Amino acid sequence: MNYHMIGKVLQSRYQIVQSLGAGVFGQTYIAVDIDYPDNSKCVVKQLKVNNCQPSYLDTLRLRFLTETETLKRLGLHQQIPEFIACFEENERFYLIQEFIEGHDLTAELPINQEWGCVWTENDVVEFLIDVLGILEFVHSQGVIHCDIKPENLIRRAVDGKLVLIDFGSIQSVDLGIDAELPIYSIPVTSLGYIPPEQFIGQTQPNSDIYALGMIAIQALTGIEPLQLQVDPYTNEIIWRSPNTPVNDYLAAVLSQMIRYDFQDRFQSVDEVLRVLKQMAAETQPTLALEPTAENDDSHQQPAPGKSSPLLTGMTVGLAANSLLMGLGVYSLLNTSPAYSETETLYKATEEYQTGDLQTAIALAKSIPSYSNIYPEAQATIEEWQQQWQEAAQQYLIAEQALNEGRWSDVLRATPNVPDILYWQSKTDKLAQQARVNIEAQTQDLLAKAYERAGQRDFSTALEYLRQIPQESSAGALVQRKLAEYNQKRQIRAAYFLHNASKKASVGDFNAAVKFLRQIPKNTSVYAQAQVKLNEYTQKQRLQTQSQKLALARVSATQKTNSNAFVSKKSATRIENSQSGNHWQEVNIR
């Protein structure tokens, strides 16, 4: 653990007080917010940085921005830690989240059956419905948690609610992960809960369902996931035995949640929730069907031709996940090909989510009016039409903003898209392109800002920096440069004011005025500079007038002297002329 961080203060606010350990994506700490009187606790996550190459850091900044935007949306749920802040410091990326006071689910799970504290079926169903409600919201935001395990489910002390934490491994629903997940990089506590497809880079939304099913099985059996046997022919997990008191309904649901092939599992959280609710309605009055050693036939089997629609068609995997009761295999499958109205509505929902609204409506309308889910189907059709129209409208807004180069507006429109995977996927692609354009725009504006700053034109540099969108991954860098260039501009303004005063003191008001006119607005000395500018401009005007008057006097003096010289020269010529004439007269005589 990185104990050297203990006591360190980040952003002059968050003081590290405890290390919580390291994961695949970085280090986690507990910190106190020293800006608050009660020094409230928060969780600090430091993103792992493998190298400091500029290109790598730029990529990391973009990913960090993308994921923190997602965490902001996720934190709106009451059972997900609230997003507080994110920032970059010394080329390290930090995320601040709400600290949840309580204990993780590990403290409530049985380690083995000898403890005698396995959960009841009712406890398991309540647990599933609670966590599935959280996952329903998570998946609706277009992401997969990817690390559902007991350590990441906290029983909140204040109200006893479960809180889902540690979204450091979240993946995009439509993009998945970039490469295979090496087993050596996975925390030991995650093994057993991670489904097969996640190891080969094919993470699915129902990968979270698999992990949740494994936790429920551990709660029912007291056996940890890695200790369960696997069928060598089908790769399905064998978890149910004669010592596992669980009714057929719940067994079918859990087995469907943990199928080896993700295509055979429940495809969405909504499907599992619907089945659990229907199961609760059909079981009377309690879920538990206790098996006895004396009579294995005590299991209540459906009467021929009257199997519940819940169990009909539910693929469980007979070899691995059947009722192994010694006398034979009791299959939960009904040979009847009947397809219940509930399953029709499920299928319609799948079509709706994948983008085929007309097929979805047609399927929902095919449910007969005498069905007990007919009212729900009709209400669902109306809701789908409203949401579809709203989603299409938000997509068009985002698309128009993208075409017009309003990248920030694209990102603002994305969260407003209703929970329809088809439209969310389309809008997310627009948002991804907008983020790429924002980063390109950011690099261009930064280059221009650096160029102007190199020429000491800090005012123009600041204008370029202010044009960088807030959604840019360079937000922390921009804030630092804004502060730096603003400080340099203030210093340069004070320098111009000082030079202006020096020039004015020796009577060089022209130079003083030139210095003052270079002082930009929004500087601390601007008002003082304006006063001096008026003063020096007036003195410059008087000085100019004095100089003109002096020049005029000199010119007049020079003109007077020139006239006097010309007059004297003319008089001499006349005198000489008269003398010549007198001499001529004498000679004549």
Residue numbers in the known binding site are 45
Q: How far apart are the C-alpha atoms of 503 and 509, rounded to whole Å?
A: 6
Residue 72: how many CB atoms within 10 A of its CB? 14
Indicate the SS3 state at residue 393. Answer: helix
User: What 8-state DSSP symbol labels residue 303?
Assistant: P
φ/ψ of residue 22, rounded to 5: -110, 150
Distance of CA 221 to the CA centre of its chain: 38
Show the CA angle centred on residue 336, arms to residues 331 and 339, nearest 5°.
110
Helix or strand holding residue 397 (H, E):
helix 374-403
| Separation between Cα atoms, residue 476 and residue 10, nearest integer Å | 13
Give the helix/strand (H/E) hosting 42. strand 41-47
Assess contact for 276 and 129: CB atoms under 8 A: yes
Which of 35, 38, 104, 147 is labelled catalytic?
147
DSSP 398-457: HHHHHHTT-HHHHHHHGGGS-S-HHHHHHHHHHHHHHHHHHHHHHHHHHHHHHHHHHTT-
Count of residues in the chain: 589
* Binding-site residues from annotation for ATP: 45
Q: Give, in order, the Cα–Cα distances in Å from 215 to each of 104, 111, 130, 148.
A: 13, 12, 13, 9
Query: Is 147 an annotated catalytic residue?
Result: yes
DSSP 301: P
Backbone angles phi, psi at 173, to 5 degrees: -60, -40
Q: Residue 270's closest CA among 133, 148, 390?
A: 133
**Which is nearest to 332 in space by CA: 300, 365, 292, 295?**
300
The b/e string for 506-528 (b: 16+ C-beta within 10 A; e otherwise) is: eebbebbbebbeebbeebebeee
Q: Among all residues, which ones are annotated catalytic? A: 147
